[in-house]
Structure 1
Amino acid sequence: MSEKNQERKRAARERLQQQRESDKAREKRRRVLIVSAAVVGVLGLAAVVGVIAANAGKAGKKDSGSDAGPLLAPAGVQGKDQLAIPVGANDAPSTLTVWEDFRCPACASFENALRDTIHELERTGQVKIEYHLATIIDGNMGGSGSLHAANAAACAQDVGKFVPYHDVLYQNQPPETDDAFADNSRLIELAGKVDGLVTPEFRSCVEEGKHNAWVAKSNAAFRSGGFRGTPTVLLNGESVFPQKGSERITVPNFKKWVAEANKGKKPGTQRPTPSPGGSASS
Protein backbone atom coordinates (compact mmCIF):
# COMPACT_ATOMS: atom_id res chain seq x y z
CA MET A 1 0.00 0.00 0.00
CA SER A 2 1.40 3.37 -0.99
CA GLU A 3 2.15 6.04 1.57
CA LYS A 4 -0.42 8.30 -0.10
CA ASN A 5 -3.19 5.68 0.29
CA GLN A 6 -2.26 5.14 3.93
CA GLU A 7 -2.46 8.87 4.52
CA ARG A 8 -5.88 9.04 2.90
CA LYS A 9 -7.17 6.16 5.03
CA ARG A 10 -5.72 7.69 8.17
CA ALA A 11 -7.39 11.01 7.35
CA ALA A 12 -10.68 9.21 6.72
CA ARG A 13 -10.44 7.44 10.08
CA GLU A 14 -9.72 10.72 11.83
CA ARG A 15 -12.70 12.40 10.14
CA LEU A 16 -14.92 9.48 11.16
CA GLN A 17 -13.66 9.68 14.76
CA GLN A 18 -14.24 13.44 14.82
CA GLN A 19 -17.76 12.93 13.48
CA ARG A 20 -18.49 10.34 16.16
CA GLU A 21 -17.18 12.67 18.89
CA SER A 22 -19.28 15.49 17.48
CA ASP A 23 -22.38 13.27 17.43
CA LYS A 24 -21.74 12.20 21.03
CA ALA A 25 -21.33 15.80 22.16
CA ARG A 26 -24.51 16.84 20.35
CA GLU A 27 -26.45 13.95 21.92
CA LYS A 28 -25.10 14.83 25.37
CA ARG A 29 -26.21 18.45 24.94
CA ARG A 30 -29.64 17.28 23.80
CA ARG A 31 -30.03 15.04 26.86
CA VAL A 32 -28.93 17.81 29.21
CA LEU A 33 -31.51 20.13 27.67
CA ILE A 34 -34.22 17.49 27.97
CA VAL A 35 -33.39 16.77 31.60
CA SER A 36 -33.20 20.46 32.46
CA ALA A 37 -36.51 21.10 30.77
CA ALA A 38 -38.03 18.17 32.60
CA VAL A 39 -36.86 19.41 36.01
CA VAL A 40 -38.10 22.94 35.42
CA GLY A 41 -41.07 22.27 33.18
CA VAL A 42 -42.60 18.96 34.23
CA LEU A 43 -44.93 20.65 36.68
CA GLY A 44 -46.08 23.14 34.08
CA LEU A 45 -46.71 20.36 31.59
CA ALA A 46 -48.50 18.42 34.28
CA ALA A 47 -50.71 21.42 34.92
CA VAL A 48 -51.78 21.45 31.27
CA VAL A 49 -52.69 17.77 31.51
CA GLY A 50 -54.64 18.47 34.68
CA VAL A 51 -56.56 21.33 33.07
CA ILE A 52 -57.44 19.16 30.07
CA ALA A 53 -58.65 16.43 32.42
CA ALA A 54 -60.81 18.84 34.39
CA ASN A 55 -62.34 20.37 31.29
CA ALA A 56 -63.15 16.94 29.91
CA GLY A 57 -64.75 16.07 33.24
CA LYS A 58 -67.34 18.84 32.81
CA ALA A 59 -69.26 16.82 30.25
CA GLY A 60 -72.07 16.18 32.74
CA LYS A 61 -71.15 12.63 33.63
CA LYS A 62 -72.51 11.18 36.83
CA ASP A 63 -70.15 11.50 39.82
CA SER A 64 -68.58 8.19 40.80
CA GLY A 65 -69.89 6.84 44.02
CA SER A 66 -73.11 8.87 43.98
CA ASP A 67 -75.11 5.77 44.96
CA ALA A 68 -72.52 4.57 47.46
CA GLY A 69 -74.72 4.27 50.53
CA PRO A 70 -74.50 6.16 53.84
CA LEU A 71 -72.07 9.06 53.97
CA LEU A 72 -69.31 8.13 56.42
CA ALA A 73 -66.46 10.60 56.72
CA PRO A 74 -63.00 9.34 57.69
CA ALA A 75 -61.57 10.15 61.10
CA GLY A 76 -60.22 13.60 61.81
CA VAL A 77 -61.53 15.40 58.73
CA GLN A 78 -61.97 19.16 58.97
CA GLY A 79 -63.14 22.18 57.02
CA LYS A 80 -66.31 22.94 55.13
CA ASP A 81 -68.58 19.87 55.03
CA GLN A 82 -65.77 17.86 56.66
CA LEU A 83 -64.06 17.30 53.32
CA ALA A 84 -60.44 18.16 54.20
CA ILE A 85 -57.94 15.57 55.43
CA PRO A 86 -55.55 17.62 57.58
CA VAL A 87 -51.85 16.90 57.90
CA GLY A 88 -49.57 18.86 60.20
CA ALA A 89 -49.91 21.32 63.05
CA ASN A 90 -53.27 23.06 63.28
CA ASP A 91 -51.53 26.30 64.26
CA ALA A 92 -49.01 26.29 61.41
CA PRO A 93 -48.67 29.81 59.98
CA SER A 94 -49.54 28.74 56.42
CA THR A 95 -52.04 26.31 54.91
CA LEU A 96 -51.45 24.36 51.70
CA THR A 97 -54.71 23.19 50.14
CA VAL A 98 -54.33 20.35 47.64
CA TRP A 99 -57.07 18.87 45.44
CA GLU A 100 -55.94 15.59 43.89
CA ASP A 101 -57.06 12.47 42.02
CA PHE A 102 -55.03 9.30 42.56
CA ARG A 103 -55.32 8.39 38.84
CA CYS A 104 -54.20 11.85 37.72
CA PRO A 105 -50.70 11.88 36.10
CA ALA A 106 -50.33 15.61 36.77
CA CYS A 107 -50.94 14.98 40.46
CA ALA A 108 -48.23 12.32 40.51
CA SER A 109 -45.82 14.73 38.80
CA PHE A 110 -46.54 17.36 41.45
CA GLU A 111 -46.23 14.89 44.33
CA ASN A 112 -43.05 13.25 43.07
CA ALA A 113 -41.37 16.63 42.50
CA LEU A 114 -42.45 18.36 45.74
CA ARG A 115 -43.06 15.47 48.16
CA ASP A 116 -39.87 15.75 50.20
CA THR A 117 -40.15 19.53 50.40
CA ILE A 118 -43.77 19.43 51.53
CA HIS A 119 -42.96 16.79 54.16
CA GLU A 120 -40.05 18.88 55.44
CA LEU A 121 -42.16 22.04 55.72
CA GLU A 122 -44.95 20.12 57.42
CA ARG A 123 -42.61 18.41 59.91
CA THR A 124 -41.04 21.72 60.91
CA GLY A 125 -44.43 23.35 61.50
CA GLN A 126 -44.17 25.73 58.53
CA VAL A 127 -47.30 24.52 56.75
CA LYS A 128 -50.43 22.55 57.43
CA ILE A 129 -51.75 20.58 54.43
CA GLU A 130 -55.43 20.05 53.70
CA TYR A 131 -55.94 17.26 51.17
CA HIS A 132 -59.17 17.05 49.17
CA LEU A 133 -59.91 14.04 46.96
CA ALA A 134 -61.49 14.09 43.50
CA THR A 135 -62.41 11.44 40.92
CA ILE A 136 -62.34 13.30 37.61
CA ILE A 137 -60.29 10.65 35.78
CA ASP A 138 -63.01 8.07 36.41
CA GLY A 139 -65.41 10.44 34.69
CA ASN A 140 -63.04 11.15 31.81
CA MET A 141 -61.56 7.73 31.15
CA GLY A 142 -64.20 5.43 32.61
CA GLY A 143 -63.64 3.00 35.45
CA SER A 144 -63.59 3.44 39.21
CA GLY A 145 -59.91 3.53 40.18
CA SER A 146 -60.03 7.13 41.37
CA LEU A 147 -62.97 6.35 43.64
CA HIS A 148 -61.56 3.11 45.03
CA ALA A 149 -58.11 4.62 45.67
CA ALA A 150 -59.64 7.65 47.39
CA ASN A 151 -61.78 5.39 49.57
CA ALA A 152 -58.72 3.31 50.48
CA ALA A 153 -56.81 6.49 51.37
CA ALA A 154 -59.72 7.55 53.56
CA CYS A 155 -59.58 4.11 55.22
CA ALA A 156 -55.88 4.73 55.91
CA GLN A 157 -56.81 8.10 57.42
CA ASP A 158 -59.07 6.29 59.89
CA VAL A 159 -55.97 4.75 61.49
CA GLY A 160 -53.63 7.72 61.12
CA LYS A 161 -51.72 6.40 58.09
CA PHE A 162 -53.06 8.61 55.32
CA VAL A 163 -49.75 10.28 54.45
CA PRO A 164 -47.58 7.18 53.90
CA TYR A 165 -50.36 5.42 51.98
CA HIS A 166 -51.07 8.54 49.92
CA ASP A 167 -47.38 8.61 48.96
CA VAL A 168 -47.31 4.89 48.12
CA LEU A 169 -50.29 5.29 45.77
CA TYR A 170 -48.59 8.07 43.82
CA GLN A 171 -45.29 6.23 43.74
CA ASN A 172 -47.09 3.23 42.23
CA GLN A 173 -49.62 5.02 40.02
CA PRO A 174 -50.58 3.03 36.91
CA PRO A 175 -50.85 4.68 33.48
CA GLU A 176 -53.88 6.95 33.24
CA THR A 177 -55.70 4.57 30.89
CA ASP A 178 -55.05 1.58 33.17
CA ASP A 179 -57.79 1.34 35.80
CA ALA A 180 -55.64 -0.84 38.08
CA PHE A 181 -56.72 1.03 41.22
CA ALA A 182 -60.26 -0.23 40.66
CA ASP A 183 -58.99 -3.57 41.95
CA ASN A 184 -59.29 -3.52 45.73
CA SER A 185 -56.79 -6.36 46.04
CA ARG A 186 -54.18 -4.15 44.34
CA LEU A 187 -54.92 -1.34 46.79
CA ILE A 188 -54.57 -3.72 49.72
CA GLU A 189 -51.35 -5.11 48.23
CA LEU A 190 -49.90 -1.59 48.08
CA ALA A 191 -51.07 -0.97 51.64
CA GLY A 192 -48.63 -3.71 52.62
CA LYS A 193 -45.86 -1.19 51.96
CA VAL A 194 -47.10 0.84 54.96
CA ASP A 195 -46.20 -0.69 58.31
CA GLY A 196 -49.22 -1.87 60.24
CA LEU A 197 -51.84 -0.67 57.77
CA VAL A 198 -53.19 -3.99 56.50
CA THR A 199 -55.58 -5.18 59.20
CA PRO A 200 -58.98 -6.90 58.97
CA GLU A 201 -60.60 -3.50 59.61
CA PHE A 202 -58.70 -1.84 56.79
CA ARG A 203 -59.47 -4.69 54.39
CA SER A 204 -63.16 -4.48 55.24
CA CYS A 205 -63.15 -0.69 54.84
CA VAL A 206 -61.57 -0.95 51.38
CA GLU A 207 -63.62 -3.89 50.12
CA GLU A 208 -66.94 -2.49 51.33
CA GLY A 209 -66.27 1.03 50.01
CA LYS A 210 -66.99 2.47 53.44
CA HIS A 211 -66.13 6.05 52.46
CA ASN A 212 -67.33 6.00 48.83
CA ALA A 213 -70.19 8.42 49.46
CA TRP A 214 -67.86 10.82 51.25
CA VAL A 215 -65.46 10.67 48.29
CA ALA A 216 -68.36 11.38 45.93
CA LYS A 217 -69.30 14.42 48.03
CA SER A 218 -65.72 15.65 47.89
CA ASN A 219 -65.66 15.22 44.11
CA ALA A 220 -68.93 17.13 43.81
CA ALA A 221 -67.36 19.98 45.79
CA PHE A 222 -64.42 19.96 43.39
CA ARG A 223 -66.71 20.02 40.36
CA SER A 224 -68.70 22.95 41.72
CA GLY A 225 -65.66 24.84 43.01
CA GLY A 226 -64.61 26.43 39.74
CA PHE A 227 -61.18 24.78 39.79
CA ARG A 228 -59.26 24.39 36.53
CA GLY A 229 -57.97 20.88 37.10
CA THR A 230 -56.06 18.54 39.34
CA PRO A 231 -53.87 19.12 41.07
CA THR A 232 -55.19 22.41 42.37
CA VAL A 233 -52.65 23.72 44.89
CA LEU A 234 -53.31 26.82 46.99
CA LEU A 235 -50.95 28.43 49.50
CA ASN A 236 -53.07 30.45 51.93
CA GLY A 237 -55.78 30.57 49.27
CA GLU A 238 -53.50 31.70 46.43
CA SER A 239 -52.82 29.38 43.50
CA VAL A 240 -49.18 28.24 43.28
CA PHE A 241 -49.53 25.57 40.60
CA PRO A 242 -48.18 25.71 37.97
CA GLN A 243 -46.97 29.13 39.09
CA LYS A 244 -47.45 31.98 41.54
CA GLY A 245 -47.63 35.28 39.74
CA SER A 246 -44.91 35.20 37.10
CA GLU A 247 -42.76 32.58 38.89
CA ARG A 248 -43.02 28.90 38.00
CA ILE A 249 -43.30 26.37 40.80
CA THR A 250 -39.95 24.78 41.64
CA VAL A 251 -38.56 23.48 44.92
CA PRO A 252 -36.56 26.69 45.60
CA ASN A 253 -39.49 28.92 44.64
CA PHE A 254 -41.94 26.94 46.75
CA LYS A 255 -39.67 27.19 49.80
CA LYS A 256 -39.26 30.90 49.15
CA TRP A 257 -43.02 31.46 48.90
CA VAL A 258 -43.63 29.69 52.21
CA ALA A 259 -40.82 31.63 53.89
CA GLU A 260 -42.27 34.90 52.63
CA ALA A 261 -45.76 33.96 53.83
CA ASN A 262 -44.41 32.95 57.25
CA LYS A 263 -42.11 35.91 57.83
CA GLY A 264 -42.26 36.94 61.49
CA LYS A 265 -44.55 34.04 62.43
CA LYS A 266 -43.80 31.11 64.73
CA PRO A 267 -43.91 27.50 63.51
CA GLY A 268 -46.93 25.45 64.51
CA THR A 269 -46.75 22.86 67.27
CA GLN A 270 -50.33 21.70 67.91
CA ARG A 271 -50.79 18.34 66.20
CA PRO A 272 -54.12 16.52 66.47
CA THR A 273 -54.33 12.75 66.77
CA PRO A 274 -57.27 11.33 64.79
CA SER A 275 -59.31 8.78 66.68
CA PRO A 276 -59.76 5.44 64.89
CA GLY A 277 -63.04 4.77 63.13
CA GLY A 278 -65.06 6.79 60.65
CA SER A 279 -67.54 9.40 61.78
CA ALA A 280 -70.95 10.02 60.32
CA SER A 281 -71.49 13.14 58.27
CA SER A 282 -74.66 14.52 56.78
Structure 2
Amino acid sequence: MVVSENNQDGMRAARERLKRERELHKNREKRRRLLIVSAAVVGVLGLAAVVGVIAAGGGGKDEGSTAGGPVVAPSGAQGEDALALPAGPDGAPSTLTVWEDFRCPACAQFENVMRDTIHELTDSGQLRVRYHLATIIDGGMGGSGSLRAANAAACAQDAGKFVEYHDVLFQNQPPETEDAFADNERLIELAGEVPGLATPAFTECVESGRHDAWVAKSDQAFEEKNFRGTPTVLLNGESVFPQKDGEQLSPENLRKWVAEADRDKQRRTGQPSPAAS
Protein backbone atom coordinates (compact mmCIF):
# COMPACT_ATOMS: atom_id res chain seq x y z
CA MET A 1 0.00 0.00 0.00
CA VAL A 2 2.86 2.38 0.85
CA VAL A 3 4.54 1.60 -2.49
CA SER A 4 1.27 2.33 -4.34
CA GLU A 5 0.83 5.69 -2.58
CA ASN A 6 4.45 6.59 -3.31
CA ASN A 7 3.91 5.78 -6.98
CA GLN A 8 0.81 7.96 -7.07
CA ASP A 9 2.71 10.78 -5.37
CA GLY A 10 5.50 10.41 -7.92
CA MET A 11 3.07 10.51 -10.82
CA ARG A 12 1.39 13.62 -9.44
CA ALA A 13 4.76 15.29 -8.99
CA ALA A 14 5.73 14.41 -12.54
CA ARG A 15 2.49 15.84 -13.90
CA GLU A 16 2.96 19.05 -11.92
CA ARG A 17 6.57 19.33 -13.12
CA LEU A 18 5.48 18.86 -16.75
CA LYS A 19 2.76 21.49 -16.31
CA ARG A 20 5.28 23.98 -14.88
CA GLU A 21 7.71 23.32 -17.73
CA ARG A 22 4.97 23.98 -20.29
CA GLU A 23 4.05 27.25 -18.58
CA LEU A 24 7.70 28.33 -18.48
CA HIS A 25 8.07 27.57 -22.19
CA LYS A 26 4.93 29.55 -22.97
CA ASN A 27 6.12 32.52 -20.92
CA ARG A 28 9.59 32.44 -22.53
CA GLU A 29 7.97 32.53 -25.96
CA LYS A 30 5.78 35.49 -24.96
CA ARG A 31 8.83 37.37 -23.68
CA ARG A 32 10.74 36.56 -26.88
CA ARG A 33 7.93 37.96 -29.01
CA LEU A 34 7.62 41.07 -26.89
CA LEU A 35 11.33 41.83 -27.06
CA ILE A 36 11.06 42.21 -30.84
CA VAL A 37 7.89 44.28 -30.61
CA SER A 38 9.49 47.38 -32.07
CA ALA A 39 13.18 46.87 -32.52
CA ALA A 40 12.70 48.10 -36.09
CA VAL A 41 11.32 51.45 -34.96
CA VAL A 42 14.74 53.13 -35.13
CA GLY A 43 14.28 56.17 -37.32
CA VAL A 44 10.66 55.36 -38.15
CA LEU A 45 8.46 58.45 -37.99
CA GLY A 46 11.54 60.33 -36.81
CA LEU A 47 11.27 58.65 -33.40
CA ALA A 48 13.79 57.13 -31.05
CA ALA A 49 13.94 53.35 -30.81
CA VAL A 50 11.17 51.83 -28.74
CA VAL A 51 11.84 48.31 -27.56
CA GLY A 52 9.69 46.23 -25.26
CA VAL A 53 11.58 45.80 -21.98
CA ILE A 54 11.11 42.65 -19.94
CA ALA A 55 12.57 41.96 -16.55
CA ALA A 56 14.81 38.91 -16.76
CA GLY A 57 12.68 37.02 -14.28
CA GLY A 58 9.33 38.28 -15.61
CA GLY A 59 6.53 35.76 -15.56
CA GLY A 60 3.22 35.39 -17.28
CA LYS A 61 -0.02 37.18 -16.59
CA ASP A 62 -1.04 37.84 -13.04
CA GLU A 63 -4.05 35.97 -11.72
CA GLY A 64 -5.93 39.26 -11.76
CA SER A 65 -5.51 39.52 -15.50
CA THR A 66 -7.30 36.31 -16.40
CA ALA A 67 -10.57 36.76 -18.27
CA GLY A 68 -13.35 34.26 -17.91
CA GLY A 69 -17.09 34.37 -18.36
CA PRO A 70 -19.13 34.84 -21.52
CA VAL A 71 -17.71 36.68 -24.53
CA VAL A 72 -19.62 39.96 -24.81
CA ALA A 73 -18.66 41.95 -27.89
CA PRO A 74 -18.95 45.74 -27.68
CA SER A 75 -21.78 47.43 -29.51
CA GLY A 76 -20.99 47.89 -33.19
CA ALA A 77 -17.96 45.59 -33.24
CA GLN A 78 -17.31 44.20 -36.72
CA GLY A 79 -15.37 41.56 -38.62
CA GLU A 80 -14.61 37.96 -37.86
CA ASP A 81 -15.92 37.06 -34.40
CA ALA A 82 -16.82 40.78 -33.98
CA LEU A 83 -13.26 41.57 -32.86
CA ALA A 84 -12.75 44.84 -34.76
CA LEU A 85 -13.72 48.27 -33.45
CA PRO A 86 -14.49 50.52 -36.44
CA ALA A 87 -13.71 54.14 -37.21
CA GLY A 88 -14.47 56.00 -40.41
CA PRO A 89 -17.05 55.19 -43.09
CA ASP A 90 -17.67 51.57 -44.06
CA GLY A 91 -17.59 52.51 -47.73
CA ALA A 92 -14.13 54.11 -47.67
CA PRO A 93 -11.84 52.91 -50.50
CA SER A 94 -9.02 51.94 -48.13
CA THR A 95 -8.91 50.05 -44.83
CA LEU A 96 -6.27 50.46 -42.14
CA THR A 97 -6.11 47.53 -39.73
CA VAL A 98 -4.35 48.29 -36.46
CA TRP A 99 -3.46 45.81 -33.69
CA GLU A 100 -2.51 47.63 -30.48
CA ASP A 101 -1.85 47.22 -26.78
CA PHE A 102 -2.62 50.20 -24.55
CA ARG A 103 0.53 49.52 -22.49
CA CYS A 104 2.76 49.30 -25.58
CA PRO A 105 5.16 52.29 -25.91
CA ALA A 106 5.61 51.78 -29.65
CA CYS A 107 1.82 51.89 -30.06
CA ALA A 108 1.71 55.24 -28.27
CA GLN A 109 4.53 56.53 -30.49
CA PHE A 110 2.65 55.41 -33.59
CA GLU A 111 -0.62 56.95 -32.40
CA ASN A 112 0.84 60.24 -31.25
CA VAL A 113 2.59 60.79 -34.59
CA MET A 114 -0.10 59.42 -36.93
CA ARG A 115 -3.29 60.36 -35.05
CA ASP A 116 -4.11 63.63 -36.82
CA THR A 117 -3.46 62.14 -40.26
CA ILE A 118 -5.63 59.11 -39.57
CA HIS A 119 -8.45 61.35 -38.36
CA GLU A 120 -8.04 63.56 -41.42
CA LEU A 121 -8.34 60.57 -43.76
CA THR A 122 -11.32 59.05 -41.94
CA ASP A 123 -13.13 62.38 -41.72
CA SER A 124 -12.68 62.93 -45.48
CA GLY A 125 -14.08 59.47 -46.25
CA GLN A 126 -10.86 58.14 -47.76
CA LEU A 127 -10.06 55.66 -45.01
CA ARG A 128 -11.76 53.36 -42.57
CA VAL A 129 -9.88 51.94 -39.58
CA ARG A 130 -10.41 48.62 -37.84
CA TYR A 131 -8.82 48.55 -34.39
CA HIS A 132 -7.98 45.25 -32.69
CA LEU A 133 -6.83 45.03 -29.09
CA ALA A 134 -4.07 42.82 -27.69
CA THR A 135 -2.60 42.30 -24.21
CA ILE A 136 0.97 41.18 -24.89
CA ILE A 137 2.53 43.53 -22.32
CA ASP A 138 0.48 41.90 -19.57
CA GLY A 139 1.73 38.56 -20.84
CA GLY A 140 5.37 39.60 -20.96
CA MET A 141 5.71 41.86 -17.94
CA GLY A 142 2.87 40.74 -15.72
CA GLY A 143 0.01 42.87 -14.52
CA SER A 144 -3.41 43.54 -16.00
CA GLY A 145 -3.27 47.09 -17.38
CA SER A 146 -3.52 45.99 -21.01
CA LEU A 147 -6.63 43.97 -20.26
CA ARG A 148 -8.24 46.58 -18.02
CA ALA A 149 -7.62 49.40 -20.51
CA ALA A 150 -8.89 47.30 -23.42
CA ASN A 151 -12.05 46.45 -21.51
CA ALA A 152 -12.56 50.14 -20.72
CA ALA A 153 -12.05 51.02 -24.40
CA ALA A 154 -14.68 48.43 -25.31
CA CYS A 155 -17.00 50.06 -22.77
CA ALA A 156 -16.36 53.39 -24.51
CA GLN A 157 -17.32 51.69 -27.79
CA ASP A 158 -20.66 50.79 -26.18
CA ALA A 159 -21.12 54.51 -25.56
CA GLY A 160 -20.14 55.44 -29.13
CA LYS A 161 -16.94 57.12 -27.95
CA PHE A 162 -14.22 54.55 -28.62
CA VAL A 163 -11.98 56.68 -30.84
CA GLU A 164 -11.98 59.62 -28.42
CA TYR A 165 -11.22 57.42 -25.42
CA HIS A 166 -8.66 55.37 -27.35
CA ASP A 167 -6.80 58.61 -28.07
CA VAL A 168 -6.97 59.74 -24.44
CA LEU A 169 -5.53 56.42 -23.23
CA PHE A 170 -2.51 56.67 -25.52
CA GLN A 171 -2.00 60.34 -24.68
CA ASN A 172 -1.90 59.39 -20.99
CA GLN A 173 -0.04 56.08 -21.28
CA PRO A 174 2.03 55.35 -18.14
CA PRO A 175 5.62 54.07 -18.37
CA GLU A 176 5.68 50.48 -19.59
CA THR A 177 6.95 49.18 -16.26
CA GLU A 178 4.17 50.94 -14.30
CA ASP A 179 0.89 49.05 -14.49
CA ALA A 180 -1.23 52.15 -13.80
CA PHE A 181 -3.99 51.12 -16.20
CA ALA A 182 -4.68 48.12 -13.97
CA ASP A 183 -6.51 50.59 -11.72
CA ASN A 184 -10.14 50.92 -12.84
CA GLU A 185 -10.40 54.23 -10.99
CA ARG A 186 -7.67 55.68 -13.20
CA LEU A 187 -9.47 54.49 -16.32
CA ILE A 188 -12.73 56.03 -15.11
CA GLU A 189 -10.91 59.26 -14.26
CA LEU A 190 -9.53 59.47 -17.82
CA ALA A 191 -13.05 59.01 -19.18
CA GLY A 192 -13.73 62.46 -17.76
CA GLU A 193 -11.60 63.86 -20.61
CA VAL A 194 -14.14 62.58 -23.16
CA PRO A 195 -17.35 64.63 -23.05
CA GLY A 196 -20.31 62.50 -22.05
CA LEU A 197 -18.39 59.27 -21.38
CA ALA A 198 -18.03 59.31 -17.58
CA THR A 199 -21.49 57.93 -16.83
CA PRO A 200 -22.74 55.34 -14.34
CA ALA A 201 -23.19 52.91 -17.25
CA PHE A 202 -19.55 53.29 -18.30
CA THR A 203 -18.35 52.95 -14.70
CA GLU A 204 -20.36 49.76 -14.20
CA CYS A 205 -19.02 48.31 -17.45
CA VAL A 206 -15.41 49.04 -16.48
CA GLU A 207 -15.71 47.76 -12.90
CA SER A 208 -17.58 44.58 -13.87
CA GLY A 209 -15.11 43.68 -16.62
CA ARG A 210 -18.02 43.18 -19.00
CA HIS A 211 -15.78 42.74 -22.04
CA ASP A 212 -12.82 40.95 -20.43
CA ALA A 213 -13.51 37.65 -22.18
CA TRP A 214 -13.92 39.49 -25.51
CA VAL A 215 -10.52 41.13 -24.99
CA ALA A 216 -8.99 37.74 -24.22
CA LYS A 217 -10.49 36.37 -27.45
CA SER A 218 -9.03 39.29 -29.39
CA ASP A 219 -5.60 38.67 -27.88
CA GLN A 220 -5.87 34.99 -28.77
CA ALA A 221 -6.64 35.97 -32.38
CA PHE A 222 -3.55 38.18 -32.36
CA GLU A 223 -1.36 35.28 -31.22
CA GLU A 224 -2.88 32.89 -33.75
CA LYS A 225 -2.03 35.27 -36.60
CA ASN A 226 1.67 35.13 -35.57
CA PHE A 227 2.21 38.86 -35.85
CA ARG A 228 5.64 40.01 -34.66
CA GLY A 229 4.36 42.52 -32.14
CA THR A 230 2.38 45.67 -31.57
CA PRO A 231 1.61 47.88 -33.29
CA THR A 232 0.84 45.77 -36.33
CA VAL A 233 -0.49 48.10 -39.03
CA LEU A 234 -1.90 46.89 -42.35
CA LEU A 235 -3.15 49.08 -45.20
CA ASN A 236 -5.53 47.10 -47.42
CA GLY A 237 -3.97 43.93 -46.02
CA GLU A 238 -0.34 44.97 -46.61
CA SER A 239 2.00 45.73 -43.71
CA VAL A 240 3.03 49.40 -43.54
CA PHE A 241 4.72 49.49 -40.13
CA PRO A 242 7.54 50.34 -39.97
CA GLN A 243 7.69 50.65 -43.76
CA LYS A 244 6.07 49.74 -47.08
CA ASP A 245 8.06 48.92 -50.20
CA GLY A 246 11.18 50.42 -48.65
CA GLU A 247 9.49 53.69 -47.66
CA GLN A 248 9.15 54.57 -43.98
CA LEU A 249 5.70 55.06 -42.53
CA SER A 250 5.01 58.77 -42.04
CA PRO A 251 1.97 61.06 -42.21
CA GLU A 252 2.96 62.13 -45.71
CA ASN A 253 3.48 58.59 -46.95
CA LEU A 254 0.22 57.34 -45.45
CA ARG A 255 -1.65 60.09 -47.32
CA LYS A 256 0.21 59.13 -50.51
CA TRP A 257 -0.46 55.41 -50.14
CA VAL A 258 -4.15 55.97 -49.44
CA ALA A 259 -4.46 58.30 -52.44
CA GLU A 260 -2.75 55.72 -54.67
CA ALA A 261 -5.09 52.99 -53.45
CA ASP A 262 -8.08 55.27 -54.03
CA ARG A 263 -6.98 56.04 -57.60
CA ASP A 264 -6.42 52.34 -58.27
CA LYS A 265 -9.89 51.50 -57.02
CA GLN A 266 -11.37 54.33 -59.08
CA ARG A 267 -9.72 52.95 -62.24
CA ARG A 268 -11.10 49.49 -61.54
CA THR A 269 -14.63 50.55 -60.61
CA GLY A 270 -15.12 53.83 -62.41
CA GLN A 271 -16.36 55.38 -59.17
CA PRO A 272 -14.95 58.73 -58.01
CA SER A 273 -13.02 58.74 -54.73
CA PRO A 274 -14.67 60.34 -51.67
CA ALA A 275 -12.07 63.13 -51.68
CA ALA A 276 -12.88 63.95 -55.31
CA SER A 277 -16.58 63.93 -54.52
TM-score range, shorter chain: 0.7 to 0.9
3-state SS, counterpart of residue 47 of structure 2: helix
Q: How far off is 1:235 after superposition?
A: 0.1
Give, in whole Å, the separation in 2 of the partners of 1:100 and 1:106. 9
Aligned residues: 226
3-state SS, counterpart of residue 131 of structure 1: strand
User: What is the aligned partner in structure 2 of residue 6 from structure 1?
Assistant: none
Q: How far off is 1:60 after superposition?
A: 7.7
Evaluate the alpha carbon distance shift between residue 93 and residue 231 of structure 1 in structure 2; reply closer, same or farther with a 3 A threshold: same
Letter in 1 for 2:46: G
Evaluate the alpha carbon distance shift between residue 210 and residue 266 of structure 1 in structure 2; reply closer, same or farther with a 3 A threshold: farther
3-state SS, counterpart of residue 187 of structure 2: helix
Give, in whole Å, the separation in 1 of the partners of 2:60 and 2:138. 13
Superposition pairs for residues 51-130 of structure 1, below 5 Å?
Answer: 66-130=66-130
| Preserved CA contact (<8 Å) 1:86 1:130 | yes
Give, in whole Å, the separation in 2 of the partners of 1:91 and 1:210. 30
User: What is the aligned partner in structure 1 of residue 204 from structure 2?
Assistant: 204
Superposition pairs for residues 146-165 of structure 1, below 5 Å?
Answer: 146-165=146-165
Evaluate the alpha carbon distance shift between residue 268 and residue 218 of structure 1 in structure 2; reply closer, same or farther with a 3 A threshold: farther
Runs of 4+ in 1 over 2 A off after TM superposition: 37-41, 59-68, 264-269
Give, in whole Å, the separation in 2 of the partners of 1:224 and 1:39. 27
3-state SS, counterpart of residue 73 of structure 1: coil
What CA RMSD, in Å, does the superposition of the two structures yield over aligned residues?
2.4
3-state SS, counterpart of residue 92 of structure 1: coil
| Preserved CA contact (<8 Å) 1:86 1:129 | yes
The question of 1:42 aligning with 2:47 is answered yes
3-state SS, counterpart of residue 217 of structure 2: helix
For normalisation by structure 1, the TM-score amounts to 0.75
- % identity of equivalent residues: 66
Letter in 1 for 2:190: L
Superposition pairs for residues 221-240 of structure 1, below 5 Å?
Answer: 221-240=221-240
Give, in whole Å, the separation in 2 of the partners of 1:195 and 1:266. 36
Q: How far off is 1:266 after superposition?
A: 3.7
3-state SS, counterpart of residue 72 of structure 1: coil
Letter in 1 for 2:207: E
Q: How far off is 1:69 after superposition?
A: 1.3
Give, in whole Å, the separation in 1 of the partners of 2:63 and 2:98. 20
Letter in 2 for 1:96: L
Q: How far off is 1:100 after superposition?
A: 0.2
Q: Which has the higher contact order (CA 8 A, sep 6+)?
A: 1
Q: How far off is 1:41 after superposition?
A: 3.4
Deviations 1:160-180 (A, max 9, x none): 000000000000000000000
Give, in whole Å, the separation in 2 of the partners of 1:184 and 1:76. 23
User: What is the aligned partner in structure 2 of residue 169 from structure 1?
Assistant: 169
Give, in whole Å, the separation in 2 of the partners of 1:167 and 1:78. 20
Note the residue ranges of structure 1 that are not aligned, 5 or more in a row.
Answer: 1-36, 270-282
Q: How far off is 1:182 after superposition?
A: 0.2
User: What is the aligned partner in structure 2 of residue 33 from structure 1?
Assistant: none
Q: Rg larger in 1 or in 2?
A: 1
| Preserved CA contact (<8 Å) 2:61 2:143 | no
Evaluate the alpha carbon distance shift between residue 166 and residue 97 of structure 1 in structure 2; reply closer, same or farther with a 3 A threshold: same
Evaluate the alpha carbon distance shift between residue 64 and residue 236 of structure 1 in structure 2; reply closer, same or farther with a 3 A threshold: farther
For normalisation by structure 2, the TM-score amounts to 0.76
| Preserved CA contact (<8 Å) 1:156 1:165 | yes
Deviations 1:87-140 (A, max 9, x none): 111110000000000000000000000000000000000010000000000011
Note the residue ranges of structure 2 that are not aligned, 5 or more in a row.
Answer: 1-41
Give, in whole Å, the separation in 1 of the partners of 2:205 and 2:75. 13
| Preserved CA contact (<8 Å) 2:60 2:142 | no
| Preserved CA contact (<8 Å) 2:108 2:173 | yes
